[in-house]
Structure 1
Amino acid sequence: MQQRYFFVGVGGSGMMPLAMILAGRGASIAGSDRTLDQGRLAPKFDALRALGIDLFPQDGSGITSPQQVVVASAAVEETVPDMVAAARVGAPRMRRADLLASLFNDSRVRIGVAGTSGKSTVTGMIGWILHALGRDPTVMNGAVMKNFASPDRPFASALVGQGEAFVSEVDESDGSIALYSPDIAVLNNVSLDHKSLDELRALFGDFAAKASRVVVNAGDPEAAALAATIGSDRRTTFAIEGEADLVARDLSPEPFAIAFTLESGSKRLPVRLSVPGRHNVANALAAIGAVVAAGVPVEDAASAIDGFVGLKRRFELVGEVGGVTVIDDFGHNPDKIAATLDTLMAFPGALKLLFQPHGYGPLKVMRRELVESLAARLRPGDELVLPDPVYHGGTTSREVTSGDIIADLTAQGAPARHIPDRAAAAAHLVATAAPGDRVVVMGARDDTLSQLAADMLAALATRNPE
């Protein structure tokens, strides 16, 4: 009998690609989402319907049978009507992470991508290389992979292939990384986001211990320390301008691309990425290391990665009008934000930044590191505006707020201000942006940020008709 699943929160960045993979493998998929009930992001739900996924209000009406497996993230409260309905009809329940891990662990070639930053990009790069070389992988990503997106498939955060490889990013923030048993484990970096460094060291160390090959960033201090505990017969190291198995040298940055020379043993191979920044060079080295571990010749990997065109919301150029460039970016923790700002600062133009924090808890965890990173980079003429954190409901501790971060920054002389309402924050930047400025919308866990960036570009066009 065809397996039936009901996804509570089917439009979420972790839920949607999993639903797409199961639908592509012939399962019967239905789901609900409060964003759908609120009438927002209609194109996303149209895309799900086009895949044959039935959508219901999040009122319990879609859960009617004990034959349905109800899938929800750990964040879904038991009081949500769908969860009440599941209990009433006796439908079995699974966490999203458990279902994904079971699909991953049942695959022939399991490539798991871990690390605080860069997971989605590395996953997309690996998926693209394997796809381009005819390996037909299945890819589970938390972001839309532009290589696989098309007008009739705009939300391509998953790829359903018939090959042996299953490539997935794995999440440390909820501890679910412990569920995965990779053949090839990629560890990009280790830094603060949701958990303490001690917790992260344990989670990443256990993940690496399960793999037959670990691809690890020797240029990241925490990852390098973990690499030192892994036998040389099980590890592939990579670094930028350092000592490792895979080394990038002679970096040549462009505003929206970067080239480098890849050293692998005695080989020196030219590589050009269609995504910018030193951090993406590290991501490319991680991806190349992973596919080489899966049997791809390094020359083929270095050639194929040229065709990777990036992910939605990863330093994505929204447009340019009146001399002002608008960029949409996923930066939301100290490392990600630093990587984006460093990439931007390699070229002229003031920065006008709108950063929406992705919750009060993360602000508390990363307060000191976030302030230090921003204060070290913001220059006279730049401006950072923080609205209040995105809030999805439920109870939360508000010990550290956007106002606290701004107070810390202004005490260090950084050009930053707190404008609690997001629309007002965006309007302020639109009103003050000058020709040559780069306006950057940053943040995570809020699908409406991309629309905000597009709206800001439109508002600039109205202000500056061409």
Structure 2
Amino acid sequence: MAAIPSAMDRPHFIGIGGAGMSGIAKILAMRGAQVAGSDAKDSATAEALRGLGATVHLGHAGEHLAADASCVVVSSAIRADNPELAAAAERGIPVVHRSDALAALMDGSRPIAVAGTHGKTTTTSMLAVSLSTLGLDPSYAIGGDLDVPGSNAHHGGGEIFVAEADESDRSFHKYAPEVAIILNVELDHHANYASMDEIYESFETFVGRVRTGGTLVVSADHDGARELTKRIAGRDGLRVATYGEAADADVRVLRIAPHGLTSEVTVVLDGEELTFTVSVPGRHYALNAVAALAAGVALGVPASDLAQALRSYTGVKRRLQLKGAAGGVQVIDSYAHHPTEISADLEAIRGGAGEGRVLVVFQPHLFSRTQELGVEMGEALTLADASVVLDIYPAREDPIPGVTSALIIDAAAARGADVTPLHDKGAVADTIAGMARPGDLVLTMGAGDVTDLGPEILARLES
């Protein structure tokens, strides 16, 4: 069993139920640490952690922090006035950012770090599932559950560690991967980045963290990724492997053939053609699979074996996840919250919709993102046959005067889209039931609690 960093043998996690935090907590618990933490509400993820021996408190209070805690682990979402953070300061207990905790867990392994504005969770999951299928038993930390609550992380017996590398708060600067993947580079996270130049500088720093002799796998199709590749050209000790449909890609995609909700992908790798199936729909997911293939090959995994194993990936929760069907209507959940993601998921679903319509329940995520990208979100929603747009999910942010969902609704309506504002989330199920017809697909879309509406919509469709 891998050693537990001494500072984390009795960690306390503030927000332990979160996607990123719970994965680190799970790995530490599997390694034998005495894990504790708190979260605002109970969840299946919290229960899964309890099953591993962790202590999970509900709500935030200073008394939840044990006297013998070795450290307090936080994410960038934890506010400075959190009572457990204040208790840690009073008692002199070290505070560790989750990125430092994850970096410590990767010590002694062969890390693959997956970065990019979109697609990190999917690509990390594809690698975790396919490498596991091949019996390599990787450790992994993913920003979403594979199949059941708590399946976002694993402490494996193999030498490979696959992890998402989050650029939102520059925390991916903490990792030192043997292989880094950069799927795309776009302006997002407007509270932390003021310009594309800042984004490029941040990704350049991440690339500079790749171990000497390591490999950068980077998109040859995405404009931002191509610009980044130019900026880091000629770095000593770094091998660059590009992938995509571009004619100059090192791993070139010849064909992506959709077959309902799957795709068949043909690539040229080291001069030889290789064809494999991706068991999720859409061109962008197919390209994520090619990135995973290139990264695994960079670590020495045979390409033909990995290509076949990639077929075993069938999705991750909230990434075009089928929630069920009722009355001839399928309800699918999507985490898409950036215009590029919204467009990609709608195009992917359109390919599997047949004669049915695509109906969207969209919940904008963050005031800052809506302020900067609201018009583009509205433009993306024109790909749906009809949309219902909810109020902004604030997450960690305070409201910004004048920034509402109207920015999105007006932009969509100006382009002829059928879009309905809805301020009462409790009315969504009835609204959708009145719109949907047999054969339609309904997407609940966004990074907030819109995901909770899927079961309500299905129940209403059944009644």
TM over 0.5: yes
Map of 2:271 onto structure 1: 266
Q: Which piece of structure 1 moves more, 206-215 or 224-233? A: 224-233
TM-score computed with the length of structure 2 as normaliser: 0.91
The answer as to whether partners of 2:362 and 2:450 remain within 8 angstroms in 1 is no
Residue 181 (1) aligns with residue 180 (2):
no
Report what 1:436 is aligned to.
439
Aligned AA (2:171): S
- Whether the 8 Å CA contact 1:237–1:246 is kept in 2: the answer is yes
Is the partner of 1:328 in helix, strand or coil?
strand
CA deviation string 1:247-288 (max 9, x = no partner): 222322123211121221321122011111100111001100
Q: Which amino acid aligns with 1:54?
A: T
Please give the secondary structure, in 2, of the residue aligned with 1:417: strand
Match of 1:215 among 201, 214, 217: 217
Instruction: State the secondary structure of the residue aligned to 2:344.
Output: helix
Matched, 1:409 2:407: no
Of 378, 391, 399, the match for 1:371: 378
TM-score, normalisation: structure 1: 0.90
Q: Secondary structure of 1:342's partner? A: helix
Per-residue Cα deviation, 1:184-207 (whole angstroms, up to 9, x for no partner): 110001123214322221111221
Instruction: Select which of 386, 389, 392 maps to 1:386.
Output: 389
Q: CA separation in 2, counterparts of 1:209 and 1:32?
A: 35
Map of 1:201 onto structure 2: 200
Q: CA RMSD in A?
A: 1.9
Does residue 439 of structure 2 align to residue 425 of structure 1? Answer: no
Paired amino acid for 2:134: L
Q: Is the aligned partner of 1:320 residue 2:320?
A: no
After the TM superposition, which residues 165-176 of structure 1 pair with which residues of structure 2 at under 5 Å, given as runs?
Answer: 165-176=160-171
Compared with structure 1, are the counterparts of its residues 68 and 62 closer, same or farther at alpha carbon in structure 2 (3 Å cutoff)? farther
Pair 1:290 & 2:295 matched: yes
Between the aligned partners of 2:415 and 2:246, the Cα distance in structure 1 is: 32
Alignment of 1:296-375 (within 5 A): 296-346=301-351, 347-348=353-354, 349-375=356-382
When structure 1 is superposed on structure 2, of 221-230 and 365-374 the one drifting more is: 365-374
Report the residue type matching 1:289 in the other structure: A
* Structure 1 pair 53–296 and aligned structure 2 pair: CA distance change class (3 A): same
Aligned length: 444
**Helix, strand or coil at the partner of 1:354:** strand
Percentage of matched positions with identical amino acids: 37
- 1:18–1:158 CA contact under 8 A, matched in 2: yes
Tell me the equivalent position of 2:3. none
Q: Which runs of 4+ in 1 moved over 4 A?
A: none
Q: Is the 8 A contact 1:66 1:90 kept in 2?
A: no
- Determine the C-alpha separation between the residues in 2 that align with 1:78 and 1:203: 24
1:18-55 CA distances to partner (integer Å, 9 max, x unpaired)?
1001111111100110123xxxx3x3322121111111
- Structure 1 runs not aligned, ≥5 long: none
Which of 74, 97, 120 aligns to 1:72? It is 74
| Residue pair 2:220, 2:246 contacting (<8 A) in 1 also | no
Q: Aligned AA for 1:183? A: E
Q: Compared with structure 1, are the counterparts of its residues 392 and 345 closer, same or farther at alpha carbon in structure 2 (3 Å cutoff)?
A: closer
**Residues 1:67 and 1:344: Cα distance change in structure 2 (over 3 Å):** closer
**How far has the Cα of 1:92 moved from its partner?**
1.6
Deviates more, 1:402-411 or 1:417-426: 417-426
> Residue 379 of structure 2 contacts residue 415 of structure 2 at CA under 8 Å; is this kept in 1?
no
Q: Secondary structure at the match of 1:11?
A: coil
Alignment deviations for residues 353-410 of structure 1 (CA, whole Å, 9 cap, x no partner): 01111111111122233233334x24xxx11111111134663424421122111221
Q: Which amino acid aligns with 1:55?
A: V
